[in-house]
Amino acid sequence: GAVVSQHPSRVICKSGTSVKIECRSLDFQATTMFWYRQFPKQSLMLMATSNEGSKATYEQGVEKDKFLINHASLTLSTLTVTSAHPEDSSFYICSARDNGNTGELFFGEGSRLTVL
Amino acid sequence: SQQGEEDPQALSIQEGENATMNCSYKTSINNLQWYRQNSGRGLVHLILIRSNEREKHSGRLRVTLDTSKKSSSLLITASRAADTASYFCATDTGGGNKLTFGTGTQLKVEL
């Protein structure tokens, strides 16, 4: 079945540094990918819609300069958390929509960010 | 605010029993989907029900949708310990799989 890979799965960084998380669709092309954030024991909150070759669409309240999204190819979207602070610590999950006829959505395994 | 509210927030049952989780939402939808998430992992798609469907089955899963009440339920029959996970409903309001997730139900199935 279709696979979406996220890397890294876990990352620990110091306050003030930037962290990049990759989301790759391994066996399908995805013009559209979505980035979610999840706090412990809570639901997923959509952060932004990543569109290949164009700017991401951010949800209300999400700082686009804080969470940089680049969707440079049909199989890769990246989320960069800039100048990370402890409150940015969270579980970040991406999903990718298969460009094929089903348009099915597949989720990555998530990336746990801890900012010290 | 959350599009979907789920209840119960937590459910603990014995293996072999049935588990029912409910989801309510606020706006019109194209489809409603149920996902499973093991602790610290990604989401696994379980089942999708379209707005013009009322019931759908997949293995031990049964999903109902009542658009007049803006609610859905997920029934897992003959539960197993391996079913222990969090279950989320998610609504697609505009097509294109831009999903809004519910608050989730944490299911624990004990031996």
A110 vs B42, B45, B104: nearest CB: B42
Q: Do A112 and B98 touch (CB under 8 A)?
A: no
pLDDT at B95: 63
When scoring B37, B100, B105 by the number of chain A Cβ atoms within 10 A, the one with the most, hence best to mutate, is B37
pLDDT at B5: 81
Q: pLDDT tens digit string along A7-54?
A: 999 999 999 999 999 999 998 999 999 999 998 888 999 999 999 989
Residue A17 touches chain B, beta carbons under 8 Å? no
Per-residue pLDDT of chain B (111 residues; tens, 9 = 90+): 335 788 899 999 999 999 999 999 999 999 999 999 998 899 999 999 999 999 999 999 999 999 999 999 999 999 999 999 999 999 988 766 788 999 999 999 999
Residues of A in contact with B2 (CB under 8 A): 43
- Who has greater pLDDT, A71 or B94? A71
Q: pLDDT tens digit string along A100-111?
A: 766 778 999 999
CA distance A57 to chain B (A): 11
- From CA A69, how far away is CA A49, in angstroms rounded? 9
Q: Flag whether pLDDT at A57 surpasses 60.
A: yes
Residue A61 touches chain B, beta carbons under 8 Å? no
- From CA A34, how far away is CA A75, in angstroms rounded? 13
DSSP code per residue over A2-53:
--EEEE-SEEEE-TT--EEEEEEESSS--SEEEEEEE-TTS-EEEEEEEETT
pLDDT at B1: 33
3-state secondary structure of B19: strand
pLDDT band of residue A87 (cuts 50, 70, 90) is very high
pLDDT at B2: 39
